[in-house]
Amino acid sequence: MKHGKKYVDSAKLVDRSKYYESPEALDLAVKTAKAKFDETVEVHIRLGVDSRHADQQVRGAVVLPNGTGKKIRVCVFAKGDDAKAAEAAGAEIVGAEDLVARIQGEGFMDFDVCIAAPNMMGLVGRLGKILGPRGLMPSPKAGTVTPDVAKAVNEAKAGKIEYRLDKTNIIHCPIGKASFGAEKLYENYATLMDAVIKAKPASSKGQYIRSCVVSSTMGVGIKINPNKVLKSAE
């Protein structure tokens, strides 16, 4: 694959054979983000678990102390007082049967987070094949199925992200924008890693964090020492 000049210049700053300490890796992620837009910095964590087994799933949600840097559009399935509370908290889209029909019939998907009151899940379940593959299906584990929809909306706006294993046992998560600087990115990174470590399944054996890589949207992958990830997140 042929890379552009900016990528090649950035790659010169990173030693591909080296495992960096977390603060240094995030500093490099900022320095190698040279695109004309404000690049997102992501963490990719390979875990020593098998996602095919129900007792080894790793999934949850955490509020990043410095947010994600992205304006989040929130969709809420609710009625009555719950709907009013969601609107008051700043949810852009609130509805029930009408919203289900809009998503099913018109393909409406102009939102980033989907929240539902518990009494709406019978209705929302109809959208499983649409929302599920996009990672938007409300879930109690992620805190997006809750009787306190206003709190969930506020958390989503404040920078709550969901982490979950993919089929290759890797978690991919954004931790902010390159413009945040290394210090704020590190605070977000440490918060995420702490949550992932605490979510370790009891059935998981051997090394839990197999590898950890950070990179900006258009930047170079920077490896973090997996043996020191636990200490970095403390």
DSSP state of 133: G
Closest CA to 229 of 32, 20, 41, 31: 20
**CB within 8 A of 187, min separation 6: which ones?**
65, 66
Interval 84-97: pLDDT, tens: 999 999 999 999 99
Are the CB atoms for 115 and 153 separated by under 8 Å?
yes
- For residue 113, give the 3-state DSSP assignment: strand
Positive/negative CA dihedral, 198, 164, 112, 107? negative
**CB within 8 A of 48, min separation 6: which ones?**
169, 204, 205, 206, 207, 208, 209, 210
Are the CB atoms for 47 and 199 separated by under 8 Å?
no
Three-state secondary structure of 158-177? HCEEEEEECCCCEEEEEEEE
| Mean pLDDT calculated for residue range 159-170 | 91
Interval 46-87: pLDDT, tens: 999 988 888 898 988 899 999 999 899 999 999 999 999 999
What would the two tokens of residue 226 be?
A: 């997996």
Give the pTM: 0.81
Give the side-chain half-sphere CA count within 13 A for 152. Answer: 30
In this structure, which amino acid lies at residue 96? A
Across the strands, what pairs with 76? 94, 115
DSSP state of 19: P
Q: Is 68 exposed, middle or buried (0-12, 13-18, 19+ CB in 10 A)?
A: buried
| Mean pLDDT calculated for residue range 108-128 | 95
Interval 182-199: pLDDT, tens: 999 999 999 999 999 999
